[in-house]
Structure 1
Amino acid sequence: MTRSPLADLKPSELRKALASFRGPYAAVAGLSGLINVLMLSGSLFMLQVYDRVLPSRSVPTLVALIILVAVLYAFQGVLEAIRARVLTRIGAGIDELIAGRVFNCLVRLPLRTPDRGEGLQALRDLDQVSGFLSSPGPGALFDLPWMPLYVVICFLFHPWIGVAALIGALLLIALTGLTDRLVRAPTKAMSGFGTRRGAIAQASARNAEVLAAMGMGERLAGRWSQANNAFREAQAQASDLTSGLGAASRIMRMMLQSMVLALGAYLVIYQQATPGIIIASSILTSRALAPIELATAYWKHFLSTRQSWQRLVDLFAAFPVDDGGMELPAPNATLAVETVGVTAPGGRRILLEDIDFSLDAGSGMGLIGPSGSGKSSLVRALVGVWPTMRGKIRLDGAAIEQWPAQALGRHIGYLPQDVELFAGTVAQNISRFDENAMPEAIIEASQAAGVHDMILRLPEGYQTEIGESGAALSAGQRQRVGLARALFGNPFLVVLDEPNSNLDAAGDQALTRAIEGIKARGGIVIVVAHRPSALAALDHLLVLNGGRQQAFGLKSEIARQALQPVTKPLHAVGSAG
């Protein structure tokens, strides 16, 4: 018997989600049983017409049979409609249960693994699984267990008719197995090429300005076309195999049906069966083989769903559910970085090694060094975006991984190099899309960032829709709104990665005042900067070079050391703070 493509998977969150629909699936199984029993109506009707109505020439009997079979057909149609609706609701219910987990894993994926062009593959996998569960495919699987019933009835009509139906069923099952073997490889290849094609398209869309300005559009289009051609070839191969084997399955079923008719006629000629058995057995044999034919036609969808299911299983296993941890007191005293080493997500090369410093509340530290020295890598580790390979980063003595993710986020403000805003209003972006944010807190953050007056000059003020990625704002405006977002809620640790890269003189002054404000309220601020203006309000410096800590101390000491003749290496400057 054909197995479900989901049958051999290890237990997982997905299987648990599917198990929560045991009741609806039991109802589908019950409906399938009634439907398959009612499927006998046509065969029995023809049997009665040929064996009772025609010999007796009884019109009342014919009318009664017509009324009865019409009622049975109507009842069957209602049951099939109900079964289809239940399956649709199951698919939607699975989507509702796991969609949040899929999104959570999707946004965490780039933080843990290298970019492999997976893009939105998890969402496509979710759509594939829920779509399959809502399709006629599962209905065919529920119909398959009833196939022996039809074969048994064929044997009751006559042993040779039963043998013919059994041979036909075995042939179709073998054809289904061949379909699985032949279609599996091109279906897997199609999925891989589709992912690569999507990754190229997403990267090209993100960098449209670069492509247009430097004439790279045609070259990227060529790369996309190569991936698209490979995808299309794999898709065509899978479709050709599925449609070809599906056609063979239909022809085989039709041929078998005709052979059963001929066999019935032979038996009637030799008075081993009644004329009604000729038609009834033909209909019954066709019905017995229909679920296998449908399974063969849907086999490409079965395989795609199995692959999508397994990818989701692996994704959920890689990103376990956060149990929330224990809520810790809000940090208010120290940041300690203890001999930290950092690698990129999924990478092996050490980007930072033996970084060691500490800061007290009210401190501000500048992070400087040449390009590629590891500044942004350290920033990502400080805010908990990248895990540390060794060592610990602590807030008030607690390692940041001990904090529940959502709770830690409330105590951290982060402005990355590439400021990303989201479609919505200015107020929503500043408040980090907190629906319970108080207007006073939003205004306080914007004033701390020196952006309040600029926001008021926008068409709708704080309610101005800024579009996807903040497209309605200039680069400088996006950076200042991003600064306000980092300051929202007065977080204890504020990390700013090149916060003045797009700022004018007024913006630089506002940034300096924001840094002074963080220090004045007892926070800690760390600034990555290439321009000296960003260091004006800071009192400590950390110098990185080649992924190692070259110096850390008070800004005045580091500057004086740099001006003096080199008598000892910079890393000899003692820790301060």
Structure 2
Amino acid sequence: MPVTTTGPLVAVGEEPGDEAESPTPWLSVREVLARFGPFVRPDRGRLLAALALLAAAAGCDTGVVVTFSSLVDDAVASGSTSSIWGVAALWAGLTLVGGLFTAAGGALLVRAAERVVYRLREATFAHLQRLGPTFHSRHSSGDLVARLTSDVDDVEALVSSGLVTTVVAIGTALCFTVAAFVVRWQLALVVLALMPLLWLATRIANRRTKAAARVERHAAGRVGAVVAQSLANLPLVQAYGTEAVESARLARHGERWRAARVRSGLISTVYQPVTGLLEGFGVLAVLVVGALLITSGQLTIGGLVGFAAFLGYLYPPLSQLGELNLLVTAAVASSERLAEILDARPDVTDRSGAVDAPARRGRLELRGVGFTYPDGGGAGVSGIDLTVSPGELVLVTGASGAGKSTLTRLLLRFFDPGRGAILLDGVDLRDRTLAAVRRSVTLLPQEPMLFDGTVAENIAYGTADATPLRIGEAARAASAEDFVLRLPDGYRTRLGEDGVSLSGGQRQRLAIARALLRGSPVLVLDEPTTGLDGPTAGAVLGPLRLLAQGRTTLLISHDLRMAPFADRIVVLDGGRVAAVGTHEELYRSSGAYHRLWAAQHPTRAAAPSAPALPAGRHAARPGTRPVVDRRARATARPSGGPR
């Protein structure tokens, strides 16, 4: 049974998580800033420098407007352009300096923002890898990918670059407002009278956008999940001719995503003309009042033109604040989805003072082990007592639902027992760190897992000190080198995602080579021959026997082809140990085991006997690496060998 878990079973066309938009509560902007602010702290210096530069640019823009007013008045008063060159030079200088400040501040802001995105994504991904089957069974991989990409970007737009932009926009608006009152307070009052209307338009748009943003982020995650699942199962989709079904699934979630995005887009589309209309009314009111002041001698033409220029600088930051408010709404929805990951607690954690050293011998003891899944699903175990010594191969078998997969998860500490204890070299697994346990136990999963890398990289995965020589030795021991050398670039051939170009037996042999290279004292073989035909399964049995030599080996399988070679066989039934013995003993005495054997070998009248793997005399010395016989004659690395 595979250790990895998929999502809960759902009807065709449904997705896990469809029953609720999100289990997370609404977060306020203050809570978001407090939660994600620590990711910004390392770049506070850059952000403050960007803020200072952008504020200086706003100051230069204020000076530009003031000099523009003087420029117009001097030209009108003198009737010639000769008297305006000094003011024009000042105007050009302020414009140039302001542009330089804007460019420098923007560059610092971009660098800081991308560093925040990197830290947030890295921290979220690291925590996601620590979460166990309980969390991952409730969330599809496509939705998690969406959270790690677009949701991270949205949160950054609020807590770092968005925050700086907001402060700059507020500062700029205040700066121009104060300057407007200094230049002509009567006209400034006209502009100020329109501010409540702008605030009201922004408030209404924000309220309507909030719900749409949450639906849009959730629907985006569901679209990603459908695409990821369909592509992962593309051979099945094509073989069954269900392309239309998958397209319908995508269309259903895509329709929700489209509707939410259309709703947000319409709000934004309406908001911009409304604010533009209010700004237009403001300019018209200023021109009317300004004309009246000019006719009464209280205002010059240059003063009116300069004040109109003020409006051209004042309204953009006000509009920007309104648009940022809509951006904040989307960022809050994304922050809730990231907080759900970061707040999730792993199924297992390290105890204080846990031993970080891996086991040396690998003696395994299960004492009254019991476990029930938190959600009540899955086959638990109860009262399991078992001891496996170094060099011993024990086959754990039973019907589906007997608890075999649960036992595998407990041995690797994906879960901890609810009752009893599992001891490794006399130390409770819970008293060892997770890293120490997983350095001590090597898993060979039911489905060989390969990465989009070279053959050598896949064999060396999980072994930091792997050398080309050891990689080649492990491949030869796993009977993999023959087909590896036939690949276009030998050990340097890229396998593609999940080794799609290899056969099942070839993928399994590479996985065996990876396990051989690790050399951990405890080995867990999880259904290693499932899905392989007779000849292919027979081809991997030899490498599996070699892999088991000298190690504490648990073979978790319903396939009994290796039963005659096991030192002992443990039969699980309903989560309990139903029988223990050798193949011959259980065939004669155990009804449960006899039925399992007969179901797989209906034409055999009796069980064939075979010598068990040697538990002591010919086994590799416990604690040593059984990967390679280092006394064998060294051979030159063949062409295409691992580098």
TM-score over 0.5 for the alignment? yes
Q: Residue 347 of structure 1 aligns to which amino acid in structure 2?
A: D
What's 1:446 paired with? 475
1:192–1:104 CA distance, 2 compared to 1 (3 A): same
* Aligned counterparts of 1:11 and 1:373: Cα–Cα separation in 2: 47
Contact 1:189 1:234 in 2 (8 A): yes
Contact 1:331 1:395 in 2 (8 A): no
Percent identical residues: 25
Asked if 1:530 is matched to 2:553, the reply is no
1:434–1:94 CA distance, 2 compared to 1 (3 A): farther
User: 1:433 Cα deviation (Å)?
Assistant: 5.8
Q: Residue 398 of structure 2 aligns to which amino acid in structure 1?
A: G
User: 1:208 Cα deviation (Å)?
Assistant: 1.4
Alignment of 1:165-314 (within 5 A): 165-314=191-340
1:467–1:369 CA distance, 2 compared to 1 (3 A): same
Alignment of 1:406-555 (within 5 A): 406-432=435-461, 434=463, 436-503=465-532, 507-509=536-538, 511-521=540-550, 523-555=551-583
Q: Residues 451-481 of structure 1, C-alpha deviation per residue, up to 9 Å, x if partnerless?
A: 3333333333322221111012111111111
Asked if 1:59 is matched to 2:94, the reply is no
Contact 1:91 1:132 in 2 (8 A): no
* Aligned counterparts of 1:564 and 1:478: Cα–Cα separation in 2: 33
* Deviation larger for 155-164 or 401-410: 401-410
Contact 2:524 2:554 in 1 (8 A): yes
* Deviation larger for 484-493 or 348-357: 348-357
- Secondary structure of the 2:453 match is coil
1:256–1:232 CA distance, 2 compared to 1 (3 A): same
- Secondary structure of the 2:40 match is helix
What's 1:36 paired with? 58
TM-score (ref. length: structure 2): 0.80
- Secondary structure of the 2:376 match is coil
1:138–1:492 CA distance, 2 compared to 1 (3 A): same
* Aligned counterparts of 2:557 and 2:320: Cα–Cα separation in 1: 64
What's 1:569 paired with? none
User: 1:500 Cα deviation (Å)?
Assistant: 1.4
* Deviation larger for 317-326 or 26-35: 317-326
TM-score (ref. length: structure 1): 0.88
Contact 1:425 1:464 in 2 (8 A): yes
Q: Residues 120-165 of structure 1, C-alpha deviation per residue, up to 9 Å, x if partnerless?
A: 1232222334467786784244221342232222222333322223
1:493–1:541 CA distance, 2 compared to 1 (3 A): same
Contact 1:169 1:289 in 2 (8 A): no
User: 1:76 Cα deviation (Å)?
Assistant: 0.9
* Aligned counterparts of 1:438 and 1:239: Cα–Cα separation in 2: 56
Aligned residues: 561
Structure 1: unaligned runs, 5 residues or longer: 567-576
What's 1:49 paired with? 71
Residue 379 of structure 2: which of 341, 351, 356 is its match?
Answer: 351
1:215–1:508 CA distance, 2 compared to 1 (3 A): closer
1:324–1:88 CA distance, 2 compared to 1 (3 A): farther
Contact 2:40 2:159 in 1 (8 A): no
1:561–1:150 CA distance, 2 compared to 1 (3 A): same
User: 1:195 Cα deviation (Å)?
Assistant: 1.2
* Aligned counterparts of 1:63 and 1:384: Cα–Cα separation in 2: 79
User: 1:233 Cα deviation (Å)?
Assistant: 0.7
1:196–1:210 CA distance, 2 compared to 1 (3 A): same
- Secondary structure of the 1:482 match is helix
* Aligned counterparts of 1:329 and 1:136: Cα–Cα separation in 2: 47
Asked if 1:104 is matched to 2:126, the reply is yes
* Aligned counterparts of 2:531 and 2:67: Cα–Cα separation in 1: 81
1:409–1:443 CA distance, 2 compared to 1 (3 A): farther
User: 1:188 Cα deviation (Å)?
Assistant: 0.6
Contact 2:566 2:582 in 1 (8 A): no
1:413–1:58 CA distance, 2 compared to 1 (3 A): same
* Aligned counterparts of 1:456 and 1:291: Cα–Cα separation in 2: 65
What's 1:8 paired with? 31
Q: Residue 486 of structure 1 aligns to which amino acid in structure 2?
A: A
1:494–1:469 CA distance, 2 compared to 1 (3 A): same
* Aligned counterparts of 2:468 and 2:570: Cα–Cα separation in 1: 37
* Aligned counterparts of 1:5 and 1:45: Cα–Cα separation in 2: 43
User: 1:390 Cα deviation (Å)?
Assistant: 4.4
Contact 1:137 1:298 in 2 (8 A): no
* Aligned counterparts of 2:277 and 2:463: Cα–Cα separation in 1: 61
* Aligned counterparts of 1:527 and 1:274: Cα–Cα separation in 2: 94
User: 1:116 Cα deviation (Å)?
Assistant: 2.7
Q: Residues 11-46 of structure 1, C-alpha deviation per residue, up to 9 Å, x if partnerless?
A: 44x321201211111112211221111111332123
Over aligned residues, Cα RMSD in angstroms?
3.0
* Deviation larger for 78-87 or 140-149: 140-149
User: 1:401 Cα deviation (Å)?
Assistant: 4.3
1:405–1:335 CA distance, 2 compared to 1 (3 A): same
User: 1:244 Cα deviation (Å)?
Assistant: 1.1
What's 1:127 paired with? 153
User: 1:52 Cα deviation (Å)?
Assistant: 2.9
1:347–1:517 CA distance, 2 compared to 1 (3 A): same
Structure 2: unaligned runs, 5 residues or longer: 1-26, 595-614, 616-643
Q: Residues 495-554 of structure 1, C-alpha deviation per residue, up to 9 Å, x if partnerless?
A: 112111244556545544444435542x11111223322223211222222333333455
1:391–1:565 CA distance, 2 compared to 1 (3 A): closer
Q: Residue 352 of structure 1 aligns to which amino acid in structure 2?
A: G
Q: Residue 460 of structure 1 aligns to which amino acid in structure 2?
A: D
* Aligned counterparts of 1:15 and 1:235: Cα–Cα separation in 2: 28
* Aligned counterparts of 1:198 and 1:330: Cα–Cα separation in 2: 41
Q: Residue 543 of structure 1 aligns to which amino acid in structure 2?
A: V
* Aligned counterparts of 1:159 and 1:284: Cα–Cα separation in 2: 13
* Aligned counterparts of 1:371 and 1:89: Cα–Cα separation in 2: 54
Contact 1:193 1:227 in 2 (8 A): yes
Asked if 1:315 is matched to 2:341, the reply is yes
- Secondary structure of the 2:577 match is strand
Residue 115 of structure 1: which of 119, 123, 138 is its match?
Answer: 138
Contact 1:498 1:530 in 2 (8 A): yes
* Aligned counterparts of 1:18 and 1:565: Cα–Cα separation in 2: 61
Q: Residue 459 of structure 2 aligns to which amino acid in structure 1?
A: I
* Deviation larger for 382-391 or 365-374: 382-391
* Deviation larger for 87-96 or 269-278: 269-278
